[in-house]
Amino acid sequence: MMDDDLPKCLQDWGGRLRGSEKNNRILVTLILMLSMGLFFYSFSKKSALAIENSQGIEISAEIIDPLSRVGKGIVMEDEEEKNIPILEKTKEEPNSLEESILKLVAGYPIEEMAESISKQDGKVAAFLVAIAKKESAWGKHTPKKNGKKCFNYWGYRGSENQTESGYSCFDSPEHAVAVVGERIQKLVNQGLNTPEKMLVWKCGSTCAGHDPAGVRKWVSDVSLYVNKLN
């Protein structure tokens, strides 16, 4: 059946349908073209950003991640913060016990005993240095036997090779430190760990009969050097 054979109203309706189909095809085509245009525009924009970034151009954090505006997402370093030098904390290394002893007794005969003394317990080493200062001025005044130096800087009276006055005469500085250090260690272990308690070294079992001023002076002088090394 030809269109001319249809009633006029149907002919008009069919024309409208054909017109609508044509318009729809045009609309779809326009939408597709617009979508493709947006796609290629977006792709070209990202490529441009990538090229710029590869050339070392700084990109704002807001472009990469909009959440950075509210303190979220990628955090870019502030330019000033990047230029602040990092300072490493330094701490002066404490001197070893031997170095401390050497600085204290430099120039005195006891200097040659510094290494041996430093190998003793810290408290014992401090008493060895302090008592030697009080009893012999760090080795300037020391007993001798047959004209031989005894290395006894502490007024120590023991069974080892006694002099006529009863002081021990040692074979070497190391021998002296070993014997006297062992004796002081035993006293410290018994609780005589302060200069006041260590008065037994000067007085024996009691300081009765000793000059009170001399006793106080002994404690004061020994305390001074014990504190320097502790």
Which CATH topology does 99-229 take?
Lysozyme (1.10.530)
Query: So where are the chain's domains?
Result: 3-82, 99-229
pTM here is 0.59
The confidence score (pLDDT) of residue 39 equals 62
The confidence score (pLDDT) of residue 31 equals 76
| Nearest in space to 105 (alpha carbons), one of 177, 189, 182 | 177
The confidence score (pLDDT) of residue 91 equals 46
Pairing mode of beta strands 148-149, 144-145: antiparallel
**pLDDT(83) > 60:** no
The confidence score (pLDDT) of residue 215 equals 96
Tokens of 38: 């947006």
CB distance 124 to 181 below 8 Å: yes
The confidence score (pLDDT) of residue 29 equals 73
Model confidence pLDDT, tens digit, residues 28-68 = 677 777 777 666 665 555 554 544 544 444 444 444 344 33
> How far apart, in whole angstroms, are the C-alpha atoms of residue 91 and residue 87?
13
**pLDDT(76) > 50:** no
79 or 191: whose pLDDT is higher?
191
Model confidence pLDDT, tens digit, residues 168-204 = 999 999 999 999 999 999 999 999 999 999 999 999 9
What torsion do the CA atoms of 104, 211, 205, 164 make, to the nearest 10 degrees? 70
